[in-house]
């Protein structure tokens, strides 16, 4: 259980991550705002509270690993890694430019990134391999994998789900960012996969649900997952795509939309209003 101060600190970090998203997207360029913003609280909770992760010890064998399987949401992970001190803030402004460190999808050349992702469906397999290797090494580190709800239509993901259960991998916690939208519309209209909780349970996983914008609930779910032995865990995060940006919430246009000057100012104004109340 977090103290009120700890909770406020993490809420402020989530807000800062959203400011960083706005800075990275800038004006006149596109960026994956929607699926990044839905993960701000999860990134804050993991990198700034839960994970054994130190920017000064990125090769520490005992570090916890985070694999962003929905790699198009890289901006939110870049924001978290920047706030952790993995690279200078100047890099945020050079995101997705030819000579910049931060490319459109996670790459191993970026300090703190553990896996190349972006082709949806692969991150859980990569995470499973990491978790099995850690277990062989008797290494207590955990692996966290973050998937999207649109991504649930990828077949490879279900192969990894079966294999993780078969091998009783309990040092792996997956997150399903259930923001109900994918690139061009509502997930249920494009490729409906009902009863995700029952599906993951049937595949042999322990399933917990949490409000993905409530840091207490996220951390309770993460801690519960750690107590589960002999099977992997998935946390279904009930989230809002584009959270805290009224023009983007549940609006597929901001899956990877362009910010005009007006939208940019609006985004900052809305975050300033949240800041004033925190």
Ligand X SMILES: Cc1ncc(C[n+]2csc(CCOP(=O)(O)OP(=O)(O)O)c2C)c(N)n1
Point out which residues bind ligand X (CB under 6 A). 34-35, 38, 70, 72-73, 118-121, 148-151, 177, 179, 181-183, 187, 241
State in angstroms the smallest separation of the CB of 156 from ligand X: 9
* Count of Cβ atoms closer than 10 Å to residue 158 Cβ: 16
Tokens 């595949």 — which residue? 203
Q: Please, which residue, 36 or 173, has the CB nearer to ligand X?
A: 36
Which tokens belong to 95?
């995101």
Q: Which residues of 125-140 are buried (b: 16+ CB within 10 A; e: fewer)?
A: bbbbebbbebbeeeee
Q: What is the 8-class DSSP label of residue 233?
A: E
Q: Please, which residue, 120 or 134, has the CB nearer to ligand X?
A: 120
Pairing relationship of beta strands 233-238 and 206-211 according to DSSP bridges? parallel
State in angstroms the smallest separation of the CB of 101 from ligand X: 21
d(CA 121, CA 19): 29
State in angstroms the smallest separation of the CB of 216 from ligand X: 22
d(CA 164, CA 167): 5
Q: Please, which residue, 50 or 70, has the CB nearer to ligand X?
A: 70
Q: Please, which residue, 53 or 178, has the CB nearer to ligand X?
A: 178
Strand, helix or coil at 182?
coil
State in angstroms the smallest separation of the CB of 33 from ligand X: 10
Q: Please, which residue, 147 or 165, has the CB nearer to ligand X?
A: 147
State in angstroms the smallest separation of the CB of 55 from ligand X: 26
State in angstroms the smallest separation of the CB of 72 from ligand X: 4
The H or E element spanning position 217 is: helix 215-227
Contacts of 159 (CB under 8 A, 6+ apart): 125
Q: Please, which residue, 104 or 111, has the CB nearer to ligand X?
A: 104
């Amino acid at each position: 259980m977090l103290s009120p101060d700890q909770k406020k600190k993490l809420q402020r970090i989530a807000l800062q991550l959203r400011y960083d998203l706005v800075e990275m997207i800038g004006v006149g360029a596109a960026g994956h705002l929607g699926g990044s913003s839905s993960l701000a609280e999860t990134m804050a909770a993991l990198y700034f509270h839960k994970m054994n992760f130190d920017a000064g010890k990125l090769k520490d064998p005992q570090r916890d690993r985070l694999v962003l399987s929905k790699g198009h949401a890289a901006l939110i992970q870049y924001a978290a890694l920047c706030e952790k001190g993995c690279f200078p803030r100047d890099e945020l402004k050079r995101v997705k430019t030819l000579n910049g460190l931060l490319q459109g999808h996670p790459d191993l050349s970026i300090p703190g990134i553990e896996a190349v992702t972006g082709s949806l469906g692969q991150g859980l397999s990569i995470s499973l391999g990491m978790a099995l290797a850690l277990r062989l090494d008797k290494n207590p580190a955990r692996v966290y994998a973050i998937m999207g709800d649109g991504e649930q239509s990828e077949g490879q993901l279900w192969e990894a789900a079966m294999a993780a259960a078969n091998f009783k991998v309990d040092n792996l916690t997956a997150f399903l960012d259930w923001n109900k939208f994918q690139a061009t519309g509502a997930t249920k209209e494009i490729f409906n996969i009902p009863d995700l909780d029952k599906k993951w349970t049937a595949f042999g996983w322990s399933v917990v649900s949490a409000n993905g914008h409530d840091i207490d609930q996220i951390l309770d779910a993460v801690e519960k997952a750690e107590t589960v032995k002999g099977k992997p865990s998935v946390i279904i995060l009930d989230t809002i795509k584009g959270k805290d940006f009224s023009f983007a919430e549940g609006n597929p246009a901001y899956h990877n939309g362009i910010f005009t000057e007006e939208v940019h100012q609006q985004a900052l104004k809305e975050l300033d209003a949240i800041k004033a109340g925190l």
